[in-house]
């Protein structure tokens, strides 16, 4: 009986030690900052705009966002809204972000399409960073501008590994 109890305690201690040395625990203990969110991230976006009725409908798409580690971002996206594809393949945007020490944060960006048909409001996004900033979970919470809208749009982004200039991946 003692041997079984000792083995159980050793197993439990090993699991606690593994949890305390995991990247997720280290991230929570060490905290996050703007520098945690840096690099190029690929996002898959899904959801819907709920109101006002004039713009309500499903939304899906992809985005490629570059975070500079200092609170600035640039993005290109291709978003299908209500089954309508964008006029230009990749709509550019610029914005800013703030990462809190608990690895949550917000970013706001404003689309800057070359074709006015692809215009859209500035968007405010809440996020949680995971895996030392290599993954980001987001939720669009509206626009900092008027008119306001209600949406249920989420995305998951992953930091890409991009080779330095002159290096080719095979």
**Global pTM exceeds 0.95:** no
In the chain, pLDDT over 70 holds for what percent of residues? 78
Planar angle of CA 110, 114, 119, nearest 5 degrees: 45
pLDDT digits over 3-52, tens only? 544 444 444 444 444 444 434 443 445 799 999 999 999 999 999 998 88
- Give the phi and the psi of residue 152 in degrees, each rounded to 5: -130, 85
Q: Which two tokens stand for residue 72?
A: 């600035």
pLDDT grade for 145, boundaries at 50, 70 and 90: confident
Tell which CATH architecture fits domain 33-159: Beta Barrel (2.40)
In the chain, pLDDT over 90 holds for what percent of residues? 60
Predicted pLDDT of residue 60 = 97
| Full DSSP string of 90-114 | SEEEEEEEEE-TTSEEEEEEEE--S
Closest CA to 72 of 101, 100, 43, 107: 107
């Amino acid at each position: 009986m003692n041997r079984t109890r000792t083995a159980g305690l050793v197993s439990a201690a090993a699991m606690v030690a593994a949890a305390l040395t995991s990247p997720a625990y280290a991230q929570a203990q060490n905290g996050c900052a703007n520098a945690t969110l840096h690099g190029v991230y690929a996002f898959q976006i899904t959801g819907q705009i709920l109101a006002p009725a004039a713009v309500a409908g499903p939304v899906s798409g992809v985005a490629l966002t570059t975070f500079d580690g200092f609170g600035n971002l640039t993005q290109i996206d291709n978003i299908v809204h209500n089954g309508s594809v964008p006029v230009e393949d990749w709509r550019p945007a610029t914005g800013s972000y703030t990462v809190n020490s608990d690895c949550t944060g917000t970013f706001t960006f404003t689309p800057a399409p070359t074709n006015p048909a692809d215009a859209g409001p500035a968007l405010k996004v809440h996020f949680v960073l995971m895996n030392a900033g290599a993954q980001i979970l987001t939720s669009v919470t509206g626009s900092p501008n008027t008119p306001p809208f209600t949406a249920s749009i989420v995305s998951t982004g992953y930091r890409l590994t991009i080779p330095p200039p002159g290096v080719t991946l095979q």
